[in-house]
Amino acid sequence: MISAGDFRNGMTIEYDNNIYQIIEFQHVKPGKGAAFVRTKLKNIKSGGVVEKTFRPTEKCPQAHIEKKDMQYLYADGDSFNFMDVETYDQFALTADQIGDSLKFVKENEMVKMLSHNGEIFAIEPPMFVELQITDTEPGFKGDTATGANKPATVETGATVNVPLFVETGDVISIDTRTGEYLKRI
């Protein structure tokens, strides 16, 4: 159990039969009345954000989130297959469970599975990936009126905005958290 006075950003707590991650917290001591802790909580499973206030002495159980390295093997129709690299156990998840977390991940790459009490609720791709451009329009010299970016499709099928000098066949580095182009390799 952790008291609200000990909240820190990034902690995970169990509250109202849900698992929340603390995005922001603020200790407030008004001039009149008792102190309280104002928090912004993100529901880990649904992704929704709620604001709650707690008394500093109020206690919540801390949720234990397990992160495990898994290898993304392949997609087979509506199922995505993974393998535990320690035990070599294979299992499949549906497209609804995956969401768009694998849009920058190629087959046979490592991802992190996040689970609580054995139930997988999220997949974390690597922070940065290197992908090849499969299709993009040619950039023309002097065509900078629109911010000097153009759309490009990478080998996983995702679309990324890239600078005009990037061409089909180039390998680029992408930040998977934001989906932004970082550099050409």
Instruction: Identify the domain containing residue 99 by its residue range.
Output: 66-124
Domain boundary among 60, 83, 98: 60
Share above pLDDT 90 across residues of the chain, in percent, rounded to a whole number: 11
Task: Tell me how far apart the alpha carbons of residues 128 and 145 are, in angstroms, rounded to a whole number.
Answer: 29
Task: Tell me how far apart the alpha carbons of residues 123 and 100 are, in angstroms, rounded to a whole number.
Answer: 10
Give the tens place of pLDDT for each residue, 109-130.
899 988 888 788 788 888 898 8
CATH number of the domain at 87, please.
2.40.50.140
The mean pLDDT value for 10-27 works out to 88
Domain boundary among 101, 124, 147: 124
Banded pLDDT at 140 (limits 50, 70, 90): low
Give the tens place of pLDDT for each residue, 61-115.
988 888 889 999 988 888 888 998 888 888 888 887 787 888 888 888 899 988 8
